[in-house]
Amino acid sequence: MSFDSKVTTAKSGKSDAILDWLQMCSGVALIIFVFMHMSLVSSVIINTNIMDTIAHTYEKNYMAQIGGPILFLLFLFHFYLAARKIPFRFEGQKTIWAHAKMMHHRDTWLWIVQVISAMLILVMGSIHMWAVLSDLPITAARSAARVQSGPWLYFYLVLAPLVVLHVVAGLYRIAVKWGFIRDYQRSKLNRFATGLAVVFICIGLATLVRFMTLTA
């Protein structure tokens, strides 16, 4: 191998490492946002005034008007970084699928779950953000009216579990890939991740039920 080739390979490896680090950081930021968002919206289960007060505080400080577009850009940036490793050609997809079935490796299946859910979330998440940010201010009554109209209930019944599965799988893979969890701790991490997913899926479903039963 020539000197120029070694330099090019080293630069490429360093660039990949930086992009992987940025992917991890953007992923962590989005994971934190998703858990906070679902927790705050679920306050409607306790009292609609709590959700309205939280939403009003965010909008009063322009966190929704400014933070929304910033969040969307972060969302696209994270997808762009993750898409570097997604095989978009049919031959590559077929190979990945064959390897996953052959190896019976849980982490490989988690990666496939993340890829499939990411494609759906990219479209559905964009629709959700547009629907919310184009109809400010955010209130419990407006959110309930949207859920109760048209196909929105079915839309959120798909989107909410998809997002939870995606971020929990991402949290697991970040912990393993970056060495936060050792091999002997994986079983505990699996139980924690499964429990976390179940809890937030239940929270999401309970929130939708509350919106469906909320009257103006």
CATH number, domain of 66, equals: 1.20.1300.10
Q: What pLDDT sits at residue 91? A: 61
Which domain does 96 fall in, by range? 3-213
Q: What pLDDT sits at residue 197? A: 92
- Domain tally for the chain? 1
Q: Which residues are annotated as a binding site?
A: 37, 78, 128, 166
- Whole-model pTM? 0.80
Q: What pLDDT sits at residue 7? A: 44
Q: How far apart are CA 116 and CA 183, in angstroms?
A: 26
Closest residue by Cα to residue 42 from 33, 32, 51, 34: 51
Q: What pLDDT sits at residue 4? A: 47
Q: What pLDDT sits at residue 96? A: 58
Q: What pLDDT sits at residue 58? A: 81
Q: How far apart are CA 48 and CA 140, in angstroms?
A: 6
What are the pLDDT tens digits along the chain (216 aa)? Answer: 554 444 445 456 677 788 888 888 888 999 999 999 999 999 999 988 889 898 888 878 777 778 778 888 988 898 888 887 766 555 655 555 555 555 555 666 677 778 888 889 889 988 998 888 888 888 899 999 999 988 999 999 999 999 999 999 888 888 887 777 777 778 888 889 889 999 999 999 999 999 999 875
Residues 170 and 29: beta-carbon distance below 8 Å: no
Q: Which residues are annotated as a binding site for heme b?
A: 37, 78, 128, 166
Q: What pLDDT sits at residue 100? A: 55
